[in-house]
Amino acid sequence: MTFGSRLHDAIDGRGRFCVGIDPHPRLLDAWGLTDSVNGLEKFALTAVEAMAGTVAVVKPQSAFFERHGSRGIAVLEQVVRAAHDLGALVLLDVKRGDIGSTSQAYADAYLDKNSPLHVDAITVSPYLGTGSLDPVLDTALAHDAGVFVLALTSNPEGPQVQHATTRDGRTVAAVVLDAIATRNTGAEPLGSIGAVVGATVDLPADVTAENLDVHGPLLVPGIGAQGGTVDDVRRVFGSAAAHVLPSSSREVLAEGPDRAALHTAALRAIDTFSALA
């Protein structure tokens, strides 16, 4: 099955929510853990064991594993395996973006089924030009994996690039969204190439609900601790809200290290966004 099909089925069976696994030093400390490989492993696997059997998608933030070196990457491999064993899809938040053979190497690292870090989908940056993503997108589709392309992010610096106007008068965000939609042409029930659009963004004038409907999933961070609500999702996405995959990490992870509390927080998030179905 394609990633789009697997995600569609996962949301249908488990609800519309993606939980981030972000082993930030402050969260490790809040859980009473050391900022070490041992603390990282305890934190990440506790979170996965508490929630990956319930949520549709688990999204580890690669940087917080990479900062611990090769042993941190080994923990990330454990997290991916454990989440898959519990039936969740794994979206690795790596935001890679490069050209040519380097772009292909990133694709091989995360999307080739023979890689030890093989996941269901990754995040990528399109700001070397949407064509620079071709090796990643082609590899993803060849291996029935997915890609989420940054389009409209909620950080205050984002509009400097994303709202900038191209030679044909469209904003960069609109160009990126159109490129994603083109890749998903004809895909049913859902394309495998998605967009990342923040829950609280201000849309440029040439981006509407019609543009946001890229015939693929819309990963929507900024939920919960960052202030995004169901009403924000409805306001920003309109008719495209049916394709939204809300994502939250800190608000849910703050309930740890108690496994039951983490599980309850995940169920609460799923219920909150069930109205978008």
Q: Which residues are catalytic?
A: 95
Which residue is it, tokens 């990133």? 106
How far, rounded to the nearest angstrom, does the alpha carbon of residue 23 sit from its chain's CA centroid?
16
Please say whether the beta carbons of 50 and 263 come within 8 A.
Answer: yes
Please say whether the beta carbons of 16 and 190 come within 8 A.
Answer: no
Omega before 204 cis (within 30°)?
Answer: no
- Six token digits for residue 228: 């995004």
Give the 3-state secondary structure of residue 67. Answer: coil
Please say whether the beta carbons of 11 and 56 come within 8 A.
Answer: yes
Please say whether the beta carbons of 224 and 253 come within 8 A.
Answer: no
Task: Burial-class residue 271 by CB neighbours within 10 Å (0-12, 13-18, 19+).
Answer: exposed
What is the Cα gyration radius of the chain? 18
In the chain, the amino acid numbered 243 is: H
